[in-house]
Amino acid sequence: MSSAAAISLVSTALANFLPIYLFLILIRVLLSWFPTIDWLNPPFSFLSQLTDPYLNIFRSIIPPLGGIDLSPILGFLLLQLLISLLAGAGSGLV
């Protein structure tokens, strides 16, 4: 496999994965509005384990402001930028 084919394969895989990951983060953010959710229970702990490492990067940059966590906004923007770049690369624009 040539390096161009490998790069194409990786960019296609990322282009398919990132929208799914963005959707998982959206679910995580929406569920955080319900204070009674136990994040140690299996479906929620799985979601938390998938999304929190990424969101923690932005939580270290933007501290919570009075209990409101604005860090997912930055996470969403970065993922949207990556999705756009990969879509552009896939169509030969970049």
Q: Which domain holds residue 17?
A: 3-90
Number of domains in the chain: 1
Positive/negative CA dihedral, 63, 73, 51, 88: negative
Q: In whole angstroms, what separates CA 35 from the centre of its chain? A: 22
pTM as predicted: 0.83
At 34 the three-state DSSP class reads coil
Q: Are 8 and 83 in contact (CB under 8 A)?
A: no
Q: Which portions of the chain are predicted below pLDDT 50?
A: 93-94
Q: Are 63 and 42 in contact (CB under 8 A)?
A: no
Question: What confidence tens digit (pLDDT) does each residue in 12-37 have?
Answer: 888 889 999 999 999 999 998 898 99
Q: Are 83 and 18 in contact (CB under 8 A)?
A: yes
